[in-house]
Chains A and B, each alone.
Chain A
Amino acid sequence: MNIEAYIALSAILFSIGTIGVLTRRNAIVVFMCVELMLNACNLALVAFAKQHGNLDGQVTAFFVMVVAAAEVVVGLAIIMTIFRTRRSASVDDASLLKY
């Protein structure tokens, strides 16, 4: 039973999330990639909790989930507001927040 494999998987998922944030244009998909990165970090935290035999890592992962839920609510509301004014969910179109 080795924890390194979990950490490596977490690193791969985090990198994929980074690439997604950099390449995708649809704001919702970009947001999904951010969620993927957060989940990858959670996996590392839970794996390290098992490695060190205390539950602090799991508590941190739990807090990350709570913050992610709040972040998704506000982020999707912002995407909706931008879509309502610009009729587009592309991140390129939202370059000017004023209009």
Chain B
Amino acid sequence: MTAFWILAPVMVLAALGILFVRKAVHAALLLAVVMISLAILYAALEAPFLFAVQIIVYTGAILMLFLFVLMLVGVDASDSVVETIKGQRWLAFLGGALLATLLIVGIAQISLGAVVGLEDANSDGNVQGLANIIFSHYVFAFEVTSALLITAAVGAMVLAHRERLTPKVTQGDLAKQRMRDYAESGKHVGPLPPPGVFARHNAVDTPALLPDGTAAESSVSRVLAARGTVRSAPAEAHHVDEIEAQLHGDLPAADVPADDRPADDREGDEA
């Protein structure tokens, strides 16, 4: 009973948290807390097989599935706070509180008598006892379960399947296309240039410099360019010089490496 009194408040708080957290990921983590606590309660209720199944199936498989779908849908897919039906939220809370009160008052009214306990039923081991029942009384339900599971698997595949509308582009097609581009428009056949690697600043968001000192647009990712976070090497060199000057007083150019200086000078020339 100690496990129950420790875990029950934790579970109720975690379950209430699911109602109030904004982000779906937090709700999934709180649900994991509830499910693992439930597994421990199953162990306390002499159900070791269900303890293992709860951990493996619920926290292992189902919650991982939830988290995968959350990642596909977008982790920050949060709830809207606008009520579509006026007063629906308060009515829902009122109804839920009424339901809880009704159930608890009902439970308080009855007396279940002495607990029989599962010592007799579990005398050959819990798993053996469950197997005896599943494969005798419930064997038909168990077989129907297999039909349900295969239907669910096929259904999920059908729902997740997307028809291919264009033929798949193979590596050979891509190579041919590249050569055709070269023949028609003179587009470079080789790989794209890598982003800038400089002595002081080495980052994928700094484009490489072409021999004439201009930045090579194709050397940085399109995503970074669209986001507008691409730096320029000459500006970066300036910035480094300023910091150097602040650090070493008024001795800026003395220990600037050779790699930075040409970029800096060139920018001066262009301006």
Interface residues of A (CB under 8 A from B): 1-9, 11-20, 22-26, 28-29, 31-33, 35-36, 39, 42-43, 46-47, 49-56, 58-59, 61-63, 65-74, 76-81, 83, 89-90, 92
Contacts and interface: CB of A to CB of B under 8 A. Distances in A.
B47 A58 contact: yes
Contacts of B19: 16, 19-20, 23-24
A31 B11 CA distance: 18
13 contacts: A2-B112, A6-B41, A15-B96, A26-B77, A39-B34, A55-B130, A58-B47, A65-B57, A67-B148, A73-B156, A74-B155, A81-B160, A90-B80
B50 interface: yes
Contacts, number: 230
Given A28-B70, A29-B18, A62-B50, A50 B115 contact: yes
Given A23-B88, A50-B115, 19 more contacts: A6-B45, A11-B107, A12-B100, A13-B12, A13-B34, A16-B100, A17-B15, A18-B96, A28-B28, A42-B50, A58-B126, A62-B50, A63-B141, A65-B58, A72-B66, A76-B66, A77-B159, A78-B159, A92-B84
- Tell me what chain A mostly uses at the interface: helix, strand, loop, or mixed: helix
A25 B79 contact: yes
Q: Which 9 A-B pairs have the closest CB atoms?
A: A53-B116, A19-B96, A22-B92, A11-B103, A15-B100, A70-B152, A77-B159, A77-B156, A16-B15
B133 interface: yes
Nearest to B113: A51
Contacts of A63: 138, 141, 145
Interface stretch (B117-125, B167-175, B223-231, B263-271): B117-125
